[in-house]
A and B are shown apart, each in its own frame.
Chain A
Amino acid sequence: MKIMTIKYLCFSLLAIAVLGACSNDDGMAGMQQATCGDGIMNGSETGVDCGGMYCSPCETMGMNPDFSGTYSQADHMGRPGINTVLGYDMEGQPSVKDAQNVTIPSEMAAAFRAGFEARLEQYYDVYANKLGLDPNDINYEPNILGLDATTLTTVLAADVLEVAPDAPTTYFDPGTDLDNDGRILVPDGDEVGLTGRRLQDDVIDISLILLFGGQEGDRFSGQDLDMDGQADLPRLTSDGVALTAENITDTFPYAGAPE
C-alpha cells in the first residue's frame, strides 16, 4: 500500500514536472521524465520511478530506507559440496563448518587443511572397515587432477568458487583419453573446467570423483571384479542422481519458477 501511495505521489509529481517542462518548451526533458511513472526502474533512475537525472530523488518520496549499522558475517560459501563432505570433525560434528563460516578465505587453508585431510583419510578407513580390510591398506591416492591429499585439501580448504570472465563455464570435465595412453588421466590436454558453476552442474559427482576416484576417476565405482553379478567395491564416485529441476531457463534470472 505504501509503495502504491509513493508511486501515485511520484506520478503526480511527474505530471506537474512534465507540464512544467512542456510550458518551457523543453520537449526532450518531458520525454525523459515520462519514465518516472511507468512502474519500472529505467532511464537513469536509481530506484523504481525515482532518482537519476529526471525523476524526484528517492528519499524525498519516503523511499529512504535505513541502511545504517554494522553487519557481521554469519555464513560463508564458495565451492559446493566440499564442506558437506569434509566439514565434519573426527567425531562427526560439523564444528569445522561453523568455524569456516566466520573465517576469511585468505586464512582458511592454514586453519582447515589438516582437518580436511584427516577427515578424507577417515572416510577411507570407514570403507576399509566396511569391506573387512585393514584401514592402513586403503588410503587416498592422487586424483584425476594428479593432486596428492595435501595439495587437494590445501585447494579445497580455501573455500572460493572460481569463475572465468572470458571462457565457457564448465565446473569440471576431465575429457577423454586424448593422448591414447589408455587412461583419462589429467592433464592430457583436453580437460576443461574450474571456470564456474552452472545451475545444472552435477557438482556432487565431481566432488566425489576428486575425493574417491583415484587417478582414473573410477577407483571406487561399484566394480564387479569377479564378474559374479555383485559389486565388489563400493560405489563412491556418484550419488546416482541427476538434475530434477525442470524449470531452469536460458534467460535471466535463469533459476526456474518456484514449484
Chain B
Amino acid sequence: MGASALVMAGIVLVAADHIDAPSTAGTTADIADFYAFEPVEGSDHTVFVVDLQSNVLPELAYGTFDEGVLTEINLDLDGDLVEDYVIQAIPRDGHMYFFAGAPATTGLDSKVMTDLPLGEVEISGPDAIVATTDNGVSLFAGPRQDPFFFDFFRFNAVIDPAVDSAPDGFLPPDQATDTFDGANTLSIVVEIPNGMLGSASAQNALGIPVYKTWVTTNSKQ
C-alpha cells in the first residue's frame, strides 16, 4: 500500500517529525520539530526549540502540555552518540519546570533530575512569558506559530508508486502549497550559555566542532 493510500485510509502522516509513526502520531508525546541554533552570530549561547503536537490537521492532538510527558534535549559532546548533558522539561500546574546536567544514567528510561534544577517558567498563552535565570538561561513554554514549511500532500503523491501519480515530481513554486501555513504548535524554548553545556570535541563532516543533539519525549510509566 502506497503512502497516499495510507492517507486515504485516514492514518494521519504529518512532517518534519510532524510525520510520525503510528505509535506516537497525534498523541501529546508527539514531537513535531526540533531546532538548534546560535541566536546571533558570535553569540556564546545556543538556542534549542522543541515543538510538541501540532494543529496542522484537525485530527491531531493539540492544546496543552501533558504532565505525564517528560521532554529531554540530549547533547553528545564527544561524538559517541551517547548523551553527556540533558535538559529536561516537564509541566506542573501551569508552569514548565526545567532540570539540566550530566545524567546519572543514559538510555530509554529517565527520571526527573530533581537534584539539578535549571529554572521554571509560567506556561504562556498567546503572549510570551519569558523567565531568565541568574546564570543567564532563558526559558519559554507555550503556543507558537509552526515555522515548518513543506508541500506535504504533494510529497505523498510523489512517493506513490502508481505510475500516474505525480510523474513530474513536485510542483513549481507558483503551484506548490505549504501544508503548514497557518499551523500552530506547542513550543519549549531554552537559550543557554555554551559554558554550561561543556566543550564540544565532536566534529561535523566539514571539521567544525559540534554538539550532536536530539530530543525525546518520555511517557510516565
A and B assemble together: yes
Q: Are B27 and A74 in contact (CB under 8 A)?
A: yes
> Is B218 an interface residue, CB under 8 A from the partner?
yes
> Is B206 an interface residue, CB under 8 A from the partner?
yes
Q: Are B24 and A95 in contact (CB under 8 A)?
A: no
Q: What is the CA–CA distance of A235 and B166 in the complex, to the nearest angstrom?
A: 10
Q: Given contacts A98-B22, A165-B200, A241-B177, are A74 and B172 in contact (CB under 8 A)?
A: no
- Report the minimal beta-carbon distance from A228 to chain B, rounded to whole angstroms: 14
Q: What is the CA–CA distance of A241 and B215 in the complex, to the nearest angstrom?
A: 26
Could you say which residues of chain B place their CB within 8 Å of the CB of A220?
169
Could you say which residues of chain A place their CB within 8 Å of the CB of B23?
74, 98, 101
Could you say which residues of chain B place their CB within 8 Å of the CB of A253?
49, 128, 130, 138, 140, 144, 187, 189
Q: What is the CA–CA distance of A248 and B69 in the complex, to the nearest angstrom?
A: 27
Q: What is the CA–CA distance of A259 and B188 in the complex, to the nearest angstrom?
A: 17
Q: Are A41 and B15 in contact (CB under 8 A)?
A: no
> Is A118 an interface residue, CB under 8 A from the partner?
no
Could you say which residues of chain B place their CB within 8 Å of the CB of A252?
39, 47, 130, 138, 140, 189, 191
B169 CB contact (under 8 Å) in A43, A161, A236: A236
- Report the minimal beta-carbon distance from B71 to chain A, rounded to whole angstroms: 9
Bitwise interface map of A from 218 to 249 toward B, beta carbon under 8 Å scored 1, else 0:
00101000000001001110111111110110
Q: Are B168 and A234 in contact (CB under 8 A)?
A: yes
Bitwise interface map of B from 98 to 112 toward A, beta carbon under 8 Å scored 1, else 0:
000000001111111
Question: Which of chain A's residues has its CB closest to B36's CB?
Answer: A163
> Is A117 an interface residue, CB under 8 A from the partner?
no
Q: What is the CA–CA distance of A220 and B37 in the complex, to the nearest angstrom?
A: 30
Question: Which of chain A's residues has its CB closest to B108's CB?
Answer: A73
B109 CB contact (under 8 Å) in A65, A73, A130, A162: A73
Main secondary structure of the interface of A (DSSP, over half): loop
Bitwise interface map of A from 194 to 215 toward B, beta carbon under 8 Å scored 1, else 0:
1111111011100010000000
Q: Given contacts A163-B36, A257-B126, are A195 and B24 in contact (CB under 8 A)?
A: no
Q: Are A80 and B93 in contact (CB under 8 A)?
A: no
B3 CB contact (under 8 Å) in A88, A168, A194: A88
Could you say which residues of chain A place their CB within 8 Å of the CB of B29?
74-75
> Is B57 an interface residue, CB under 8 A from the partner?
no
Q: Are B93 and A65 in contact (CB under 8 A)?
A: yes
Interface residues in B65-112 by Cβ distance below 8 A to A read 69-70, 76, 80-82, 90, 92-95, 97, 106-112
Q: Given contacts A72-B108, A80-B34, A197-B37, are A160 and B214 in contact (CB under 8 A)?
A: yes
Q: What is the CA–CA distance of A74 and B178 in the complex, to the nearest angstrom?
A: 28
Q: What is the CA–CA distance of A92 and B169 in the complex, to the nearest angstrom?
A: 18
- Report the minimal beta-carbon distance from A161 to chain B, rounded to whole angstroms: 5
Question: Which of chain A's residues has its CB closest to B175's CB?
Answer: A240
Question: Which of chain A's residues has its CB closest to B186's CB?
Answer: A258
Could you say which residues of chain A place their CB within 8 Å of the CB of B165?
130
Could you say which residues of chain B place their CB within 8 Å of the CB of A191?
206
Could you say which residues of chain B place their CB within 8 Å of the CB of A202?
149
Interface residues in A84-98 by Cβ distance below 8 A to B read 84-85, 87-88, 91-95, 97-98
Q: Given contacts A43-B134, A105-B81, A240-B151, are A71 and B16 in contact (CB under 8 A)?
A: no
- Report the minimal beta-carbon distance from A84 to chain B, rounded to whole angstroms: 5
- Report the minimal beta-carbon distance from A64 to chain B, rounded to whole angstroms: 10
Bitwise interface map of B from 32 to 66 toward A, beta carbon under 8 Å scored 1, else 0:
01111111110010110101000000000000000
Question: Which of chain A's residues has its CB closest to B155's CB?
Answer: A239
Known A-B contacts: A65-B92, A72-B110, A164-B204. Give 14 more (CB < 8 A). Answer: A3-B93, A41-B120, A43-B134, A65-B93, A67-B90, A67-B97, A68-B112, A78-B214, A84-B155, A93-B6, A97-B20, A160-B76, A165-B194, A258-B143
Kindly list the 9 A-B residue pairs having the minimum CB-CB distance in the complex, ordered from nearest. A240-B176, A234-B169, A80-B16, A71-B218, A65-B92, A98-B21, A67-B112, A253-B140, A163-B36
